[in-house]
Structure 1
Amino acid sequence: MSKKILVLAETIDVNASSAGKANMGFVNALVHNDHEVAVLHFSHKIVHIKGASTTLIKELKTDPFYWLSRLQRVLQRLTGKNFSVPLENKFGFSFTFKNDANSMVAAVKKMRGDFNLVITLSKAASFRTHAALLLLPDLHAKWLAYVHDPYPFHLYPPPYHWIEAGYEQKEAFFRAVSEKAAFSGFPSLLLKEWMGQYFPNFLKTGIILPHQNINTKLKAVAIPDYLEVQKFSIMHAGSLLDHRNPFPLIEGFQKFIEKTKGAAKNSQLLLIGASQAHEPKLTKICKRLPQVYKSDGYINYNEVQVLQKKVSVLLILEAISEISPFLPGKFPHYISEDKPIVHLGPKKSETRRLLGETYRYSCEAGDVIAISEIFMELYAAWKVNNNLSLERPDLLKYISPEYFNKQMSKIFDCE
């Protein structure tokens, strides 16, 4: 049954961040299932979504926090000092955060119509949309708070060790989200369980809503020169953050081409996305190993789509850890391409849970020998058939809008 849904999203710009892609996929799934969807977004640019109404939120310049944030910038520029840390330690959040949340509140209040559900989608470690809904208690009974990653940062699993300024206030804020939102959504089962350790109410209200494919129309673009389509090609798409260590991967790839006849001439490893955290070492290695290519920063999503369709193997690289509760935003896109996926990450991870314990192309991210052996096995298969496939209809079903709708019906059945 069609429902009237308001989505408050921090971004739906697919070229701005992985969150933009994930949020766009979320809205597309709602539209696909014939819901009447209105989207308020803070993307800083006009974005249209077929089948949904979209409204760009403007900054609320009458808000005192708007002027306080500008005053802070002026003082920082004049003094050369950064006041962000002491201010966040005192207030929990930046003035800009508070102004953005108030701007969202004002935009929601202007919306007309009685919505069956209000969904908040954020990005990175922001959750401004959730802060906005906390200020609208009349909507709490129909609020679905979507939690895409652990929050706050000090609740990330090892090896992430970062305590933010104002962490106590941030934790209190998210406890309020867990208790006030009637429903909560998570892209992964392990993430729900992880967050439920700290905020038990999520275990009661949470449903699993996997990331969705964007299904945007592919624009006609030339195949990038650096992709040699006749070769056995492995691609990792996405930023190489501090704890996504690419060096064991590269070492494993090097051992593979050294031990496998013909592989040095017929193979390439593509690292597509920002990689500043591993410079200048990564650039030096790429110069020494011509089979390894790294992009010069972020690549437009349309180009990434072309690459995903043309490479032989897709790769997910996670941190060297005991647990990874994240479902990568790229996961549904990889599954849709029906190509073998190499998963480098802990056994206890959402990706491994979905691929299955017996999945052959998965190992620890630091296991150089296992990585090289996986590449050897895939290369041998590619030599026989250069159009390798994943052949996992169960995963295609799992990331489908139909499964998404089945999960959402658990909420609507509560009405």
Structure 2
Amino acid sequence: MKKVLIITYYWPPAGGPGVQRWLKFVKYLRDFNIEPVLYIPENPNYPITDTCFINEIPDGISIYKQPIFEPYKLASFLSSKKTKRISSGIIQSKNQSTLEKVMLWIRGNIFIPDARKFWVKPSVSFLSELIIKEKIETIITTGPPHSVHLIGLKLKEKLDINWISDFRDPWTSIGYHKKLKLTKASQKKHKHLEKSVLTSADKIIVTSASTKAEFQEITTKPIVVITNGFDNDLKSKVVLDTNFTIAHIGSLLTGRNPENLWKVLAELIESNVKFQNSFKLKLVGVTSADVLNTIYSYGLENYVELQGYVSHNEALEIQNKSQVLLLTEINSKETTGIIPGKLFEYLAAKRPILAIGPKNWDVGDIIDETKSGKLFDYSEDSSLKEIILEWFQAFQSKKLESNSVNIAKYSRRELTKKLAEIL
């Protein structure tokens, strides 16, 4: 059985989407005659935790750990709320305090590529011996945090081992990168490190076609698209909500703020008494103040259910019960290649997907291919109103459903099969 070393920062009990990709790959790799060996931090500072993921770790796999110095732990003494928000990727564009501005500047210009950079040197030293001991043939690094890729880069330089670099998100083109108050020198350093990784890795894995096209401008190394996916984790059937619920599962960060949707919902509430009496907007996960303020400015506060962060199992149940599932992305060219992991679990839930994002968003191709919902950009409102009203009328007749097709290839096991072929 071939051994593969997977180097990742996020691992159970970490919560959120970052942990799920490689936890699920590890769950199925043995089915394809590949033995995963894990390397993770011993004392990580995870913004959110979810203990239900611990039960999915396969029995008997080797997991090695080394301590990591976490600057966020020190920063939390100044402001634990602001530190947690920044480490979670929530960067408010308005009303930033002086402390928050300073913390962002330090995050962007001192901790390059990110605050986990201090894990690189001790990891390279430890793993150099471990690779020989475990007879590892291939290493895989997954980021963000992109400092994990620097571990792979150093090991490649030192041992000339086969190295696959997995990008769950882009690096310098990610939406929040411009908000980090980077100096020109810092921007140049990020670009240099990104290019070094992309030109040194033997193979690169990305999660979208747009990211692949972006990286092909930088490197000639083979790039393969392996999206995120879904697992059939829900054990029992659920009963649909009796209200006309539109639910967003996951973080609703600054910038993911479809004002045209809030406007349309307000208009429907004003003009349609039946809609007014039935509609609920469920926001499950962290919701930024910017987004909430916009929603409330349209008079929707009495229709909003804020549920905060819930376990993955609870999230699955909520999305399977909801009448419509909302998917949003920041309205910018840089985010066209971002395909949220929740999209694939939405597909598995087989509820209509209402997606609002940038023009030419890669999500549109998947929604069209699977016939699972409708995609709108931030400028559309009349057609958006029409589809919501159409779905509401189907809901009233108890006929609202999603007849999605071609989703089997997005199952975690099928995606792991694709990974195994690369290995």
- TM-score interval w.r.t. the shorter chain? 0.7 to 0.9
Match of 1:200 in 2: 219
SS of equivalent to 2:407: helix
Deviation (angstroms), 1:58: 2.7
Alignment of 1:80-99 (within 5 A): 85=105, 89=109, 92-93=112-113, 97-99=116-118
Matched, 1:3 2:16: no
Partner of 2:384: 371
1:249 aligned onto 2:261: yes
- Give 1:181 deviation, angstroms: 0.6
Give the percent of matched residue pairs that are identical in Structure 1 and Structure 2: 20
Aligned residue among 325, 336, 350 for 1:338: 350
Two-structure CA RMSD over aligned residues (Å):
3.8
Query: CA offsets, 1:348-391, max 9 Å, x none?
Result: 11110212289662111342323222211112222333461242
Report matched runs for 1:323-362 at 5 Å: 324-356=336-368, 361-362=374-375
Provide closer, same or farther for how the CA distance between residues 279 and 324 of structure 1 changes in structure 2, counting only shifts above 3 A: closer
Q: Deviations over 1:24-79 (max 9, x none)?
A: 2333343454421111123747946125625252316xxxxx59x69x979999xx
- For the 8 Å contact 1:31–1:52, the answer to whether it is kept is no
Partner deviation per Cα, 1:172-230 (whole Å, 9 max, x = no partner): 11111011110100011111112333x233xx31101111325556699xx9xxx9821
Determine if the alignment matches structure 1 residue 164 to structure 2 residue 194.
no
Match of 2:197 in 1: 177
1:207-256: CA deviation from partner (whole Å, max 9, x where unpaired): 01111325556699xx9xxx982122111112122210143222222223
SS in 2 for 1:115: coil
The match for 2:230 among 213, 223, 226 is: 213
Letter in 2 for 1:320: N
**Number of matched pairs:** 387
- Alpha carbons 1:335, 1:396 under 8 Å: kept: no
Q: TM-score, normalised by structure 2?
A: 0.78
Q: CA deviation at 1:7?
A: 0.9
1:184 and 1:382 map into 2 onto residues whose CA distance is: 44
In 2, Cα distance between the equivalents of 1:88 and 1:355? Answer: 35
Rate the CA distance shift 1:357–1:74 in 2: closer, same or farther, 3 A.
closer
Q: 1:29 to 1:341 in 2, by over 3 A?
A: farther
Classify 1:229/1:157 alpha carbon distance in 2 versus 1 (closer, same or farther; 3 Å). closer
Secondary structure at the aligned position of 1:307 is classed as helix
The one-letter amino acid of 1:164's match is L
Q: Is the 8 A contact 1:325 1:350 kept in 2?
A: yes
Return the alpha-carbon distance in structure 2 between the equivalents of residues 74 and 156 of structure 1: 25
**Matched ranges for 1:121-200 at <5 A:** 121-123=142-144, 126-137=145-156, 138=158, 140-152=160-172, 155-156=173-174, 164=182, 166-197=186-217, 199-200=218-219
- CA deviation after TM superposition for structure 1 residue 97, in Å: 3.0
- 1:169 to partner: Cα distance: 1.4
2-structure distance, mates of 1:42, 1:210: 25
Offset of residue 130 of structure 1: 0.6
Q: Distance in 1 between matches of 2:137 and 2:7?
A: 14
**Alignment of 1:108 onto 2:121:** no
Residue of structure 2 in register with 1:302 after alignment: 313
Shift of 1:160: 5.8
Secondary structure of the equivalent of 2:339?
coil
- Contiguous gaps of at least 5 residues in structure 1: 61-65
1:316 aligns to 2:327 (yes or no): yes
In structure 2, distance between residues paired with 1:238 and 1:396: 23
Q: 1:383 aligns with which of 396, 401, 410?
A: 396
Contact 1:159/1:319 (8 A) holds in 2: no
Deviation at 1:22? 2.8
Are residues 73 and 312 of structure 1, via their aligned partners in 2, closer, same or farther at CA, if it must alter by over 3 Å? closer
Residue aligned with 1:120, SS: strand
Q: 1:67-101: per-residue Cα shift (whole Å, max 9, x none)?
A: 9x69x979999xx996984797478456x533212
Q: Is the 8 A contact 1:232 1:267 kept in 2?
A: yes
CA spacing shift, 1:365–1:3, aligned 2, 3 Å: farther
Give me the TM-score of the superposition, normalised by structure 1: 0.79
Local SS of the residue matching 2:168? coil
